[in-house]
Amino acid sequence: MAARARALRFARDLLLVLLAAVLISFLLKTFVIRSFYIPSASMEHTLQEDDKVIVNELEPRFSPLAHGDVVVFRDPGGWLPPDAGEPGTWLDAVLVFLGFEAPNDGEHLVKRVIGLPGDTVVCCTDFGQLTVNGIPLEEPYIVVPSGASQATREPFSVTVPDDALWVMGDNRYNSADSTAHLGDPGGGFVPMGNVVGRAIVISWPISRWTWLDEYPATFRGVTPAP
């Protein structure tokens, strides 16, 4: 009888530990950190297709975003095709819900923050650079085709409205970012409420594990918009 009681107690304790682990994982995924899957090449070479990143969900809820941050956000509307996601099994859905797996749901995008509320972002200078509030940017993270002379395919000039962001992919000529949606109802801006959080590290594959750089030197001279 004593052996059976010990076995039952062990099974009970194990179940409690498993339930606690699931609860903690769910709470972390909901309020603190979660994993996301990179579905496209729009952020190369910073992020490769099929990479997974860990996202800090405390930003921008409790800490402001900064120029150069890589952010994950929900589609503001019409940025992704209806069939962008890949259907998964019921087990995939459970693992995503609990935070053990990264979603590939066709609802989220990853880009770099170039313009914060009030900023004026313009392309391009005579040297092909973006400017933010009149300051030209040296952007070591971007990829442009051989022979291209400017940081984006088409010139533009925008002022970011309150509570919104202007975001761009590092793979500038192969990224359906804010510049590709200038004519949309939202003007290419991402509402702050759509931001899930800031991507902080590449978690998979292990060979690419690294912290994501926000390149503060690139934006050092940019002063806040008046």
**Three-state secondary structure readout of the chain:** CHHHHHHHHHHHHHHHHHHHHHHHHHHHHHHCEEEEECCCCCCCCCCCCCCEEEEECCCCCCCCCCCCCEEEEECCCCCCCCCCCCCCCHHHHHHHHHCCCCCCCCCEEEEEEEECCCCEEEECCCCCCEEECCEECCCCCCECCCCCCCCCCCCEEEECCCCEEEEECCEHHHCCCHHHHCCCCCCCCEEHHHEEEEEEEEEECHHHCEECCCCCCCCCCCCCCC
Of residues 225 and 133, more confidence is placed in 133
- The answer, yes or no, to whether residue 87 has pLDDT greater than 60, is no
Q: Which residues pair with 115 in a beta bridge?
A: 166
Of residues 3 and 220, more confidence is placed in 220
Question: Are residues 219 and 68 in contact, defined by beta-carbon separation less than 8 angstroms?
Answer: yes
For the chain, list the domains and their CATH numbers.
Answer: 38-87+107-211 (2.10.109.10)
Please provide the size of the chain in residues: 226
- The answer, yes or no, to whether residue 197 has pLDDT greater than 60, is yes
* pLDDT 10s digits, 115-174: 999 999 999 999 999 999 999 999 999 999 988 889 999 999 999 999 999 999 999 999
- Among candidate residues 29, 111, 178, 203, the one labeled active-site is 111
pLDDT of residue 148: 87
Question: Are residues 198 and 165 in contact, defined by beta-carbon separation less than 8 angstroms?
Answer: no
pLDDT of residue 104: 56
Residue 42 annotated among the catalytic residues of the structure? yes
What is the rounded average pLDDT of the residues 32-40? 78
- The answer, yes or no, to whether residue 5 has pLDDT greater than 50, is yes
pLDDT of residue 15: 60
- The answer, yes or no, to whether residue 13 has pLDDT greater than 50, is no
- Among candidate residues 29, 40, 42, 52, the one labeled active-site is 42
pLDDT of residue 27: 45
Confidence of residue 101 (pLDDT cuts 50, 70, 90): low
- The answer, yes or no, to whether residue 91 has pLDDT greater than 90, is no
Cis peptide before 45 (omega within 30 of 0): yes
Among 168, 49, 177, 75, CA closest to 115? 168
Number of Cα atoms under 13 Å in the Cβ half of residue 17: 6
CA distances from 31 to 56, 59, 147 (A): 9, 10, 45
Confidence of residue 103 (pLDDT cuts 50, 70, 90): low
Query: In the block, which residue shows the tokens 């309020």?
Result: 31
Confidence of residue 78 (pLDDT cuts 50, 70, 90): confident
- The answer, yes or no, to whether residue 24 has pLDDT greater than 60, is no
Residue 111 annotated among the catalytic residues of the structure? yes
- The answer, yes or no, to whether residue 26 has pLDDT greater than 80, is no
What is the rounded average pLDDT of the residues 180-206? 93
Confidence of residue 25 (pLDDT cuts 50, 70, 90): very low
